[in-house]
Amino acid sequence: MSDHFKQSPPFHPGMTVGILGAGQLGRMLALAGYPLGLRFRFFDLAPDAPASHLAAQMVADYNDYAALERFATGLDVVTYEFENVPVAAARWLAERVPVYPPPQALEAAQDRLAEKTFFRKLGIPTPPFAAVNSLADLQAAVASISLPAVLKTRRGGYDGKGQFLLREPADLEAAWTALGGVPLILEGFVAFDRELSIIAVRDRDGGIMAYPLVENHHREGILRLSLAPIPPPLQHGRVGQGSNRQIWDGGATLEVDAIGYVAQAMQALNYVGVLAIELFEVGGKLLANEMAPRVHNSGHWTIEGAVTSQFENHLRAILGLPLGATTALGHSAMLNIIGTLPDPAAVLSVSGAHLHLYGKQARANRKLGHITLCAADPETLARRLARLQRLITDFPQQ
Amino acid sequence: MSDHFKQSPPFHPGMTVGILGAGQLGRMLALAGYPLGLRFRFFDLAPDAPASHLAAQMVADYNDYAALERFATGLDVVTYEFENVPVAAARWLAERVPVYPPPQALEAAQDRLAEKTFFRKLGIPTPPFAAVNSLADLQAAVASISLPAVLKTRRGGYDGKGQFLLREPADLEAAWTALGGVPLILEGFVAFDRELSIIAVRDRDGGIMAYPLVENHHREGILRLSLAPIPPPLQHGRVGQGSNRQIWDGGATLEVDAIGYVAQAMQALNYVGVLAIELFEVGGKLLANEMAPRVHNSGHWTIEGAVTSQFENHLRAILGLPLGATTALGHSAMLNIIGTLPDPAAVLSVSGAHLHLYGKQARANRKLGHITLCAADPETLARRLARLQRLITDFPQQ
């Protein structure tokens, strides 16, 4: 099952980590890794990428093997911050340098059908789904899954792109016209109570640690707000009514399920590093939506909100260092800064607010940064969140 | 009184900060500043300096004005991480770019006589001192201050270098032979209960925030261990017996005094940024030993141990951003890694330990990194500290 052709060297300060993708996730990995004495080299087609401000970046395409060869020379380990790295490139690198997480995790995560099939095989509950390669397939899938349902491209597509919501039979042809021609998947539409995510990290010896379960709020398919640890479902008024859990156990029941799922997935992939699984909560049960074989936007709160950040733990895992505690320090919120920058001075004047800008030019729907907001208790967090909310354009109403 | 010939621009992400000195303090400033969207450029004579791993560095001498000119071009603000930057270079830069802290702070801190005179003028208590420019001066100073006393060079000298302890009259000539020829200062030897430091930050509008008082342990003139907030004096057995404070007030009395002193010093200098004052505690009273017009080794614990680190607050101050809370998150220890690197994996396996390596080659008495150790209460901190203590060569016995 192992993808690791190259043996992993023992950790020593001064090791150079190669990262495929030089976006904000790579940037935050480097910021977490410099204190461990590490050096970084990035690979990304986009020049002036966020990570290039603080480390060397090679500007090249993932299919340029001469460039990959130069990139790999002298690296001690390679990882990625972008799950659409071509699997062939990752495997080619893995013959030369240890690559974590294993390329097979990329493969499983890049195709929604493979991903859901992988979950199902492990007994991890998912929404109903079916492969769609023709209009006839689509009609059969709708008959079996029933409407509403969501037609999605199997590959590519993120932040809500490449999706079509089918509400009634008349929508089928429009959906097929919009997306057909590439492999598709139909998924049953889930009227979820809320969206959650579980982020865990697995070390090279198979040891696993999980962060507290996170509650996520999306709009237009883009993550806007994460809350960790998850608040009680009834706090929000609109969620949890379907649940029969009258007494809030702090999310422990959900967390046990979620940790079980992510641990199973990591074990099956012989995973090393941070893995995130996005989940739907429906009537007190969890359904796995998708996984990301990398550090995850819903884990950014861990920089200030947990004993060890997801970024540092990802590096510790791939370098064979002991994992750090994933315990939350109080209660945290993570607010994405999308499209427009709020006044930095106003943000920083909110107690417990930590600003993280990615060094990008502002552009509609672009993730420009995030704010971690920390507080000792949920009431203080809510008060501070209300202050921040007024500063951020398009902040979701709770 | 102002040194600022150039008006300070309002903050915007993407500003470039120039830093004189590219050692570990500069490195940690950059790590704190990237999340604010800042860019960095360093100036240091030593190639491959710790900060050069994560930002551009100009390798040149501080007296090379052509290099300083190139360095200054395009910078939005300049600061320093090294207090022996020539004042003339800082003033020259201040005519071209806003420089914080003001060069007059450098001037006051570079000369031990000017520094102690500055403290005395403000009513900040110091050990007795006198200028020494001849053997006759030294004899007169010893007669007035009495022995034991410490003869020091007025300039240069750090980590205990350039000092001579005079125990008896016979030591005078040896001391004069060892250090004479440059301007000197004789200081009364202080049989202190313990060494403390106060670190505070002042913004461009004169607003001041102080971190909790820190207890410091030196050996061979080099800081080894800091504890924050300061523990009760009796906890260590060997200190505080001279104190008549039977009930420990959490250091509040000492802290009020210390904050008063640092605030006075900052106001007098029209200071902007982080300032540290090293203090002696003697019988429940404080004496100012010296000040550092920069982020300080005894403040490294603030990276994980305080809401906002000294590095981020220094940048916020010089950029005109609101200061962040200086509150401690529980109890912290900072252990310097001197000369020899402990096993990183063993360090990281201690709960609450955070490793900070500076990317330097190991060498005797060299500061290679530090460890921040955090805990919710002093008992847990002490237990974890005992574990770390066994991993670090030359760790001071408590």
Q: Which of B52, B54, B331, B356 has the highest number of chain A CBs within 10 A, making it the mutation to test binding with A?
A: B54
| Option in B13, B345, B369 nearest A321 (CB) | B345
Q: What is the pLDDT of residue B235?
A: 41
B180 pLDDT tier (thresholds 50, 70, 90):
confident
Mean pLDDT, rounded, for B209-237: 87
Q: What is the pLDDT of residue A237?
A: 43
Contact A36 B341 (CB under 8 A): no
Q: Worst-scoring range by mean pLDDT, B158-167, B173-182, B217-226, B287-296?
A: B158-167
| Option in A14, A35, A55 nearest B356 (CB) | A35
Specify whether the CB–CB gap between B217 and B223 falls below 8 A: yes
Contact B322 A357 (CB under 8 A): no
Q: Worst-scoring range by mean pLDDT, A70-79, A163-172, A366-375, B305-314?
A: A163-172
Contacts with B272 (C-beta within 8 Å, 6 or more apart), sequence order: B100, B101, B102, B202, B203, B204, B317, B318
Sign of CA dihedral A365, A369, A370, A371: negative
Which amino acid is it at B113?
L
Does pLDDT of B2 surpass 70? Answer: no
A348 to chain B: closest CA residue? B322
User: B36 CA to chain A: closest CA distance, Å?
Assistant: 6
Contact B30 A54 (CB under 8 A): yes
Rounded percentage of chain B residues whose pLDDT exceeds 90: 85
Using CB atoms and an 8 Å cut-off, which of residues 44-83 of chain A contact chain B? 53-55
B396 pLDDT tier (thresholds 50, 70, 90):
low
B345 to chain A: closest CA residue? A321
| Option in B11, B344, B351 nearest A344 (CB) | B11
Contact B322 A348 (CB under 8 A): yes
Which amino acid is it at A247?
I
Which of the two residues, B306 and A8, has the higher pLDDT score? B306
Contact A345 B321 (CB under 8 A): yes
Does pLDDT of A345 surpass 70? Answer: yes
Q: What is the pLDDT of residue A247?
A: 64
Contact A53 B39 (CB under 8 A): yes
pLDDT in tens, A98-138: 999 999 999 999 999 999 999 999 999 999 999 999 999 99
A13 upstream amide cis, omega within 30 of 0: no
Q: What is the pLDDT of residue A2?
A: 46
Cβ contacts from A onto B, under 8 A: 87
B220 pLDDT tier (thresholds 50, 70, 90):
confident
Does pLDDT of B241 surpass 90? Answer: no
Contacts with B20 (C-beta within 8 Å, 6 or more apart), sequence order: B43, B44, B62, B78, B79, B80, B81, B82, B85, B89, B90, B93
Q: Which of B53, B301, B314, B343 has the highest number of chain A CBs within 10 A, making it the mutation to test binding with A?
A: B53
Contacts with A199 (C-beta within 8 Å, 6 or more apart), sequence order: A210, A211, A214, A262, A274, A275, A276, A296, A298, A299, A302, A310
Cα three-residue angle B219-B220-B225, rounded to 5 degrees: 25
B148 upstream amide cis, omega within 30 of 0: yes
B327 to chain A: closest CA residue? A352
User: A204 CA to chain B: closest CA distance, Å?
Assistant: 13
User: B44 CA to chain A: closest CA distance, Å?
Assistant: 18
* Half-sphere exposure of residue A285: CA atoms within 13 angstroms, side-chain side: 8
Chain B partners of A329 at a C-beta cutoff of 8 Å? 329
Which of the two residues, A398 and B200, has the higher pLDDT score? B200
Q: Which of A25, A204, A319, A355 has the highest number of chain B CBs within 10 A, making it the mutation to test binding with B?
A: A355
Paired tokens of B344: 């990183």
Does pLDDT of A8 surpass 90? Answer: no
Q: What is the pLDDT of residue A232?
A: 86
Chain B partners of A25 at a C-beta cutoff of 8 Å? none
State chain A's mean pLDDT as an integer. Answer: 92
Mean pLDDT, rounded, for B367-395: 92
Contact A369 B37 (CB under 8 A): yes
B223-242 burial, b if ≥16 CB within 10 A, otherwise e? bbbbbbbbbbbeeeeebbee
Rounded percentage of chain A residues whose pLDDT exceeds 90: 85
**ipTM, interface predicted TM-score of the complex:** 0.92
| Option in B39, B324, B359 nearest A348 (CB) | B324
Give A172-175's long-range contacts (Cβ < 8 A, gap of 24+): A172/A135, A172/A138, A172/A139, A172/A142, A173/A135, A175/A138, A175/A151
Which amino acid is it at B289?
N
Q: What is the pLDDT of residue B161?
A: 72
Using CB atoms and an 8 Å cut-off, which of residues 354-393 of chain A contact chain B? 354-359, 369, 374
Chain A partners of B36 at a C-beta cutoff of 8 Å? 344, 355, 357
The H-or-E segment that residue A114 falls in is helix A112-121
Contact A11 B344 (CB under 8 A): yes
Mean pLDDT, rounded, for A349-370: 96
SS3 assignment for chain B: CCCCCCCCCCCCCCCEEEEECCCHHHHHHHHHHHHHCCEEEEEECCCCCHHHHCCEEEECCCCCHHHHHHHHCCCCEEEECCCCCCHHHHHHHHCCCCECCCHHHHHHHHCHHHHHHHHHHCCCCCCCEEEECCHHHHHHHHHHHCCCEEEEECCCCCCCCCEEEECCCCHHHHHHHHHCCCCEEEEECCCCCEEEEEEEEECCCCCEEECCCEEEEEECCEEEEEEECCCCHHHHCCCCCCCCCCCCCCCHHHHHHHHHHHHHHHHHCCCCEEEEEEEEEECCEEEEEEEECCCCHHHCCHHHHECCCHHHHHHHHHHCCCCCCCCECCEEEEEEEECCCCCHHHHHCCCCEEEEECCCCCCCCCEEEEEEEEECCHHHHHHHHHHHHCCCCCCCCC
Mean pLDDT, rounded, for A138-156: 94
Chain A partners of B27 at a C-beta cutoff of 8 Å? 34
Does pLDDT of B158 surpass 70? Answer: no
User: B2 CA to chain A: closest CA distance, Å?
Assistant: 25
Specify whether the CB–CB gap between A266 and A246 falls below 8 A: no
Does pLDDT of B240 surpass 80? Answer: no
Mean pLDDT, rounded, for A304-315: 98
pLDDT in tens, B245-285: 456 777 788 999 999 999 999 999 999 999 999 999 999 99
Mean pLDDT, rounded, for B189-207: 96
Angle (deg, nearest 10), helices B103-110 and B112-121: 110
Strand order of the β-sheet with B56-59 is B56-59, B39-44, B16-20, B77-80
Contact A36 B358 (CB under 8 A): no
Using CB atoms and an 8 Å cut-off, which of residues 257-316 of chain A contact chain B? 307, 316
The SS3 assignment for A329 reads: coil
Rounded percentage of chain B residues whose pLDDT exceeds 70: 92
Between CA A324 and CA B156 the distance in angstroms is 41
Mean pLDDT, rounded, for B127-156: 95
Contact B27 A34 (CB under 8 A): yes
User: B108 CA to chain A: closest CA distance, Å?
Assistant: 31
Q: Is A30 on the interface with B (CB under 8 A)?
A: yes
Chain A partners of B359 at a C-beta cutoff of 8 Å? 13-14, 34, 37, 39
Which of the two residues, B157 and B313, has the higher pLDDT score? B313
A35 to chain B: closest CA residue? B356
Specify whether the CB–CB gap between B228 and B211 falls below 8 A: yes
Contact B53 A35 (CB under 8 A): no
Chain B partners of A349 at a C-beta cutoff of 8 Å? 322
Pairing status of strand A353-357 against strand A273-282: unpaired
Between CA B287 and CA B277 the distance in angstroms is 10
| Option in B31, B321, B344 nearest A344 (CB) | B321
Contact A13 B359 (CB under 8 A): yes
A175 pLDDT tier (thresholds 50, 70, 90):
very high
The H-or-E segment that residue A312 falls in is helix A310-318
User: A31 CA to chain B: closest CA distance, Å?
Assistant: 6
Between CA A174 and CA A198 the distance in angstroms is 35
Q: What is the pLDDT of residue A394?
A: 61
Q: What is the pLDDT of residue A316?
A: 98
User: A95 CA to chain B: closest CA distance, Å?
Assistant: 27
| DSSP letter, residue A76 | S
Which amino acid is it at B126?
T
pLDDT in tens, B277-331: 999 999 999 999 999 999 999 999 999 999 999 999 999 999 999 999 999 999 9
Does pLDDT of A152 surpass 60? Answer: yes
Chain A partners of B349 at a C-beta cutoff of 8 Å? 322
Give me the torsion for CA of A126, A132, A135, A137, rounded to 10°: -80
Residue A125: is it exposed, middle or buried by C-beta count within 10 angstroms (0-12/13-18/19+)? middle
Mean pLDDT, rounded, for B93-113: 96
Between CA A149 and CA A154 the distance in angstroms is 15
Contact B325 A351 (CB under 8 A): yes
State chain B's mean pLDDT as an integer. Answer: 92
Q: Which of A8, A48, A53, A205 has the highest number of chain B CBs within 10 A, making it the mutation to test binding with B?
A: A53
Rounded percentage of chain A residues whose pLDDT exceeds 70: 92
Which of the two residues, A396 and B120, has the higher pLDDT score? B120
Q: What is the pLDDT of residue A158?
A: 62
Q: What is the pLDDT of residue A319?
A: 97
Does pLDDT of A375 surpass 90? Answer: yes
Does pLDDT of A149 surpass 50? Answer: yes
User: What is the pTM for the complete model shown?
Assistant: 0.93
User: A173 CA to chain B: closest CA distance, Å?
Assistant: 46
Specify whether the CB–CB gap between B29 and B314 falls below 8 A: yes
Between CA B158 and CA B193 the distance in angstroms is 22
Contact A355 B35 (CB under 8 A): yes
